[in-house]
């Protein structure tokens, strides 16, 4: 019971810090899905469309045999 209260409190704090409007159930579902993924939660929740875009330069792998 106490674990649920703590999670509810932390989710409410995260929701209050966000400038973007999220419903409580969507926020809890998203956190449940991405519990073991390494993401910056506040940054992602502010702009989820932008954070999925990967703009890194691909690294070329060297050939072992030429």
pLDDT tens, residue by residue, 10-34: 888 888 888 888 888 888 888 788 7
The answer, yes or no, to whether residue 66 has pLDDT greater than 70, is no
* pLDDT tens digits, one per residue of 28-58: 888 788 777 777 777 777 777 665 555 555 6
pLDDT at 2: 92
Q: d(Cα 8, Cα 14) in Å, to the nearest integer?
A: 10
Note the residue count of the chain: 66
DSSP assignment letter at 36? T
């Amino acid at each position: 019971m106490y674990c649920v209260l703590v999670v509810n409190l932390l989710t409410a704090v995260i929701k209050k810090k966000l400038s973007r409007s999220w419903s409580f159930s969507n926020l809890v579902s998203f956190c449940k899905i991405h519990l073991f993924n390494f993401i910056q939660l506040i940054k992602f929740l502010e702009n989820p469309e932008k954070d999925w875009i990967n703009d890194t330069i691909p690294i070329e792998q060297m050939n072992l045999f030429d």
